[in-house]
Chains A and B, each alone.
Chain A
Amino acid sequence: MGKRSLSIALVCLALLGSAYAEESMSMSAADKAMYDELLENNPADMELSEGESLFGALIGKAGYAKMMGVSEKALPAYIAGFPRYVDSAKKVVTLSQTIQMAAASQGKEVPKLESPEMLKMTLFLKSLANGQKTAMNVKANPQMKAMMTLGKAVFEQQRGGRGLSCNSCHSSDIIGQRLRMQILPDLGSKANASAGTWPAYRMTKSETTLLDKRFQQCMDNALLAKIPLGSKEMVALEVYVTNMTKGNAIHVPGVKR
């Protein structure tokens, strides 16, 4: 990790510390020490560099930019605006889905959304936007508007074994309270900046995870049926959550508890 990204990470940590007076309750001293260590030495940096090679071999920055109809120089700002409506896709897509499009347009085998290669390439592609701010625009076109509406509905739909929704634990009137020992995070806060910090390394799982896979982990924990990556509803959920955290800095790979 470079000096600059490290200092950004440290600022994030400072914010994290001050955001909740009860922060100490959610992390033991040992966990906190491990977290600090990971901030300096993020295991996901390895995956990022693997992603760079994979992406280079499969598509390349120039090929990708050409397919998306932007200049290579404009890529960081363009990537900061995902999920977005893409004409040739005929729908709102995630970064991972554009990698599938790019692979196909080069006549290459299309990587699956669930594959480890996809995680690494998405991480690399997103890292091109490091230093930018999350800049998705839900008002850009009717398709984005519709996805925002759908995303809200999916976020608020009570379902599953316990009748919970994402909103049961992430609504504004409940964040900061404790579920067991865990502070319920404000997905939109600067400290979490969820859209700008995933893919992230999850300390408790010892693995790097995409934002939509993180949604699936919450679904699993709360007994909601897992909806598949790439489904319209999953992309809509990403639009909705990204919109909450708009304007926050992009800095991947993140480190999460």
Chain B
Amino acid sequence: MRKLILLGIATLLGAVDVAQVIESPDAVAILQKDALPKATVYTMPAGCVSDDPSVIARGKYLFHNLNGKDAKDAPPEGLTKLLPNGKEKQYGNCVACHNIQGAQGHGNVGPDLTKYHTMFVASGARNAPFVYQKIADARMDNPKTHMTINLTTKLFNEREVCDLTSYILSQK
């Protein structure tokens, strides 16, 4: 009996199981939902590359801006600052890593895309489908790439990838 009482007191004293109070929420579900689908090969759609100024204007806007909240200028026709669900639209922020004509405060994580057509396409080193694929899913020729994935993540649609491709290939 005495033993039992002592045991009772002991459990009372040790009643708080400290392991139980530690905040330890689940992150597995969040990470699973956020996962990147596997590398995907894309076929550049017909008529993708264009020298239509409105296409180039969209590509330029996507290239130089981060998102609808940060963009100073009004977006060109065919682009919005908000998504239909009311959230800000994300743009490419390509200038964070790439230099190009007219870039302001560009980074240097990725190659310089200045005079891309003259430097790389005219020589035959690169072509439009390569640029399209690189923007859509940069992992295809470089599984360890540090570049963003833009079509497989659904950040952009096909047309927006074409807008960017057209801008990079355009004579500026």
Residues on A facing B (Cβ under 8 Å): 67, 88-91, 93, 97, 100-101, 103-105, 107, 110, 112-113, 154, 157-164, 168-169, 171, 174, 177-182, 184, 223-234
Contacts and interface: CB of A to CB of B under 8 A. Distances in A.
A179 B34 CA distance: 23
A89 B18 contact: yes
Nearest to B22: A97
Contacts of A169: 146
Given A161-B155, A178-B109, A223-B90, A233 B16 contact: no
Interface in B117-158: 146, 148-150, 152-153, 155
Interface residues of B, number: 34
A177 B148 contact: no
Nearest to B26: A231
A181 B103 CA distance: 12
A38 to B, nearest CB: 24
Contacts of B35: 157, 159
A90 B24 CA distance: 12
24 contacts: A88-B19, A89-B22, A97-B22, A101-B18, A101-B22, A104-B16, A105-B16, A110-B21, A112-B23, A113-B23, A157-B31, A159-B35, A160-B34, A162-B149, A163-B148, A163-B153, A178-B109, A180-B105, A184-B109, A224-B34, A230-B23, A231-B27, A233-B28, A233-B31
Dominant secondary structure of chain A at its interface with chain B: loop
Nearest to A154: B31
Given A162-B150, A178-B108, 5 more contacts: A88-B18, A160-B36, A163-B36, A163-B149, A179-B109
B146 A168 contact: yes
B134 to A, nearest CB: 13
Contacts of A179: 96-97, 107, 109
A231 to B, nearest CB: 4
A168 B36 CA distance: 13
Interface in B12-61: 16, 18-28, 30-31, 33-36
A180 B146 contact: no
B153 A162 contact: yes
A240 B34 CA distance: 21
A67 B36 CA distance: 43
B146 to A, nearest CB: 5
Contacts of B33: 225
B81 interface: no
A162 B19 contact: no
B19 A171 contact: no
B144 to A, nearest CB: 9
B41 to A, nearest CB: 15
B95 interface: yes
Nearest to A25: B105
